[in-house]
Amino acid sequence: MRDYEKYIRYRTFPSPWCPGCGIGIILKAIAMSFTALKIAPDDIVVVSGIGCSGRMPTFFNTNTLHVTHGRALTFATGIKLARPEKTVVVISGDGDAMAIGGNHLIHSARRNIGIKMILVNNGIYGMTGGQCSPLTPQKFITETTPYGNIEPKFMASELLIAARASFVARETVNRPRPLREVIKKSFEHKGFSVVEVISNCHINLGRKNKMKDPITMCKWIAGRTVTRAQYDKLAPGDRNHKYPVGILQEDNERLEYTELYNKYIIPSAQEAARKNGGAK
Amino acid sequence: MSKRKVLQGNIIAAKAALAAGCNFFAGYPITPSSEIAQFMSRELPKLGYDFIQMEDEIASLGACIGASLAGSKVMTATSGPGFSLMQEHLGMGVMAEIPLVIVNVMRGGPSTGLPTKPSQADMMQTRWGTHGDHPIIALYPAFADEIYTETIRAFNLSEKFWTPVVLMMDEVQAKAHEDIEIPEAKDISVYESEVNVPVDLNIYDREIGEKPPRVDFFKGYPIHVDSLEHDAHGWPTIEPNTVHKMQTLRMQKIYHYLDEIIEYKEYEMDDAEVMIFSFGVSARASIPAIQMLREEGLKVGLFQALTIWPFPKRELQERFKRIKKVLTVEMNMGQMKYEVERVAPDDVDDRALLRANGIPLTPQEIYNAVKEFYK
């Protein structure tokens, strides 16, 4: 048994994912990051909503919570506030996090609550059979854009930086080692962290867009991946179809939400109580 | 020593929640319940506890469920439009068997409706608002002292049966300032459920009718909790026999214990020929009406439901053996009247006094409606 396997819950296998899906690489990278940081399985809770990536927590041998569509961050917020010392991880897909859960996403980022989020971006609603998501590239054919998608996609990481997330990184399933490193780094970050992982859905996105096998689709992802430095050198017009990878935002100075709550709110309230003769 | 005070209904509920051991509140401002969130934002941190204002009501109840699973005693408070948003996670609370208390202060609906005016029109939303088959416990106090005791009972029932409990109020009682004697801590009975995560992780494994054990995260054995239908382990399943068993377990954990859940009060019922069935502010208006009618020698009594759901079916059926005239009094277009109709035998003359325009029913109107039976 490899040492990361103690974080894998084998009793729930087989997995629901299609052959060649990138989610397996992400699952392993997360388990390896737990291993590297030596966090006890019972001190971790992994929360997810609905979707292909939403099924990931079932396979972690940690506390796991599988909830309603798009709302994983809200449950995680409650857990983190109640037990700030625990490691709270949220896994969410692009439909889950950026469409139905968009409100919770920006507010969690703004609050800087110490949740570690993995945002699996495969640009499609996979589990429901291939409908357009807010991260589906323009012109792509999906089950609900049979004539091509006319809506521009969100740039998830950039949106999260604007929403004041204190740690934002982007990686792809093509680069498992940097992926592992950056997930580990995000787990060490105290405030709200997001790692956007670009993954392949050759079945539900690729098939309709001339990329029906995983190799073709991963090559397509590779062709769009640039480092931050390369990205900055590109003319604005050329940036449209490129994804800068690596750590895009890191602010270790800002206090995490529960730290602020315990350092500022509770002492202030208790001081007020002393002045007014105790809690009411 | 207990203290007499003049307090707003919302504040009475919030104080009772603290007395019941509430240590986590997540909410979103909404008229006419906001005072509860405001009070909690002030008082919970004094005790070292958690308050958070979330981005909407969906998030509020989500945070409550998360905190409940992390071992907290949780509450949120809202009104109609917010309660509509909470239905999604009310269902999650039922499905995953999460103890939590939702206060719903009823205002006029539908939609944003009458934000500053009372109603009793969320009766059926409370029962059936979330999709799928599910039991629900809902309590509805009428008087200031009942707001206190029923809030504590709401927490106790949620802990005992591992289920969401809705504490219903209306805008009148939530906003009214009333004289109340706050009970001493020693006179309050607070139920604490035992936390027990079985080694085999079969957290939902029990016989039909058995009370559930409480299981939380971080108790030594990593568990899985799911909003999908699940097996005894909590893992997703679509196996028909397991699904049937889990559906039945969730229903019967409530319906096997009706005696512990259903509470009501009766006024002048011993010799009553006409029974008023009511709750909340309408029940209060019924009492002076009954006094007026009794002065005229008319035998009228009140059955005031404190437990709205599960509906006090057996209790009403018992009374219908003798009483053949019933008047349902409620501030809506006839929601609980349906329930009374369902329970009443054919020989019972069942009528209702209904109104949903934001103005509470008065004793005089109730008096007049009862007099109609004697015409």
CATH number of B3-187: 3.40.50.970
Tokens of B280: 């909340």
Measured between CA atoms, how close is A47 to chain B, in angstroms?
10
Residues of B in contact with A92 (CB under 8 A): none
Using an 8 Å Cβ cutoff, are B121 and B109 in contact?
Answer: yes
Q: Nearest to residue A74, comparing CAs of A48, A42, A43, A56?
A: A48
Give me the residue from B43, B66, B236 closest to A76, CB to CB: B66
Using an 8 Å Cβ cutoff, are B140 and B312 in contact?
Answer: no
Residue B31, number of CB atoms within 10 A of its CB = 15
Q: In a structure prediction context, what are the per-residue pLDDT tens digits for chain B, which is 375 residues long? A: 568 999 999 999 999 999 999 999 999 999 999 999 999 999 999 999 999 999 999 999 999 999 999 999 999 999 999 999 999 999 999 999 999 999 999 999 999 999 999 999 999 999 999 999 999 999 999 999 999 999 999 999 999 999 999 999 999 999 999 999 999 999 999 998 877 777 788 889 988 878 777 779 999 889 999 999 999 999 999 999 999 999 999 999 999 999 999 999 999 999 999 999 999 999 999 999 999 999 999 999 999 999 999 999 999 999 999 999 999 999 999 999 999 999 999 999 999 999 999 999 999 999 999 999 998
How deeply is B316 buried, as exposed, middle or buried, from its count of CB atoms within 10 A (0-12, 13-18, 19+)?
buried
Give me the residue from A75, A107, A279 closest to B43, CB to CB: A279
> What letter does residue B44 receive in the DSSP assignment?
G
Q: Nearest to residue B262, comparing CAs of B321, B199, B308, B207?
A: B308
Q: What does the alpha-carbon distance between residue B237 and residue A217 come to, in Å, rounded to a whole number?
A: 32
Residues of B in contact with A43 (CB under 8 A): 218
Interface probe, candidates B5, B47, B65, B230, chain A, greatest A C-beta count within 10 A: B65
More confident residue, A204 or B198: A204
Q: What does the alpha-carbon distance between residue B73 and residue B100 come to, in Å, rounded to a whole number?
A: 7
Nearest CA in chain B to A107: B55
DSSP A54-97: GGSGGGBSSEEEE-STT-HHHHHHHHHHH-TTSEEEEEEEHHII
B333 touches chain A (CB under 8 A): no
Nearest CA in chain B to A46: B224
Which are the contacts of B330, defined by CB distance < 8 A and separation ≥ 6?
B120, B123, B278, B279, B282, B336, B337, B352, B353, B354
Q: Where are the beta strands (DSSP E) in chain A?
A: 44-48, 63-66, 87-93, 115-121, 167-172, 193-198, 225-227, 243-250
Q: What does the alpha-carbon distance between residue B224 and residue A58 come to, in Å, rounded to a whole number?
A: 7
Using left for φ > 0, alpha for ψ between -120 and 50, and beta otherwise, residue A51 falls in left
Q: What does the alpha-carbon distance between residue A113 and residue A47 come to, in Å, rounded to a whole number?
A: 15
Residues of A in contact with B24 (CB under 8 A): 78, 81-82
Interface probe, candidates B6, B46, B60, chain A, greatest A C-beta count within 10 A: B46
Q: Nearest to residue A74, comparing CAs of B76, B40, B235?
A: B76
| Chain A residues bordering chain B (beta-carbon distance below 8 Å) | 9, 12, 41-45, 47, 57-58, 61-68, 71, 73-83, 86, 103-104, 107, 261, 265-266, 268-270, 272-273, 279-280
Nearest CA in chain B to A265: B45
Q: Do A67 and B62 touch (CB under 8 A)?
A: yes
Nearest CA in chain B to A13: B235
Beta pairing, strands B300-305 & B114-118: unpaired
Locate all alpha helices (DSSP H) within chain B, ordered by sequence.
9-19, 34-43, 57-69, 80-96, 123-128, 144-161, 171-175, 240-255, 258-261, 280-295, 313-320, 335-343, 363-371
Q: What does the alpha-carbon distance between residue B30 and residue B45 come to, in Å, rounded to a whole number?
A: 21
Residues of B in contact with A280 (CB under 8 A): 15, 43
| ipTM, 2 dp | 0.96
Model confidence pLDDT, tens digit, residues A108-133: 999 999 999 999 999 999 999 999 99
Q: Where are the domains of chain B?
A: 3-187, 265-374
Which domains, and CATH codes, for chain A?
A: 3-275 (3.40.50.970)
* Terminal CA-CA length for chain A: 56
Give me the residue from B56, B66, B223 closest to A78, CB to CB: B66
Q: Do B66 and A65 touch (CB under 8 A)?
A: yes
Instruction: Name the architecture of domain B265-374.
Output: 3-Layer(aba) Sandwich (3.40)
Which are the contacts of A146, defined by CB distance < 8 A and separation ≥ 6?
none
Spatial strand order of the sheet with B300-305 comes to B264-267, B300-305, B274-278, B325-330, B349-354
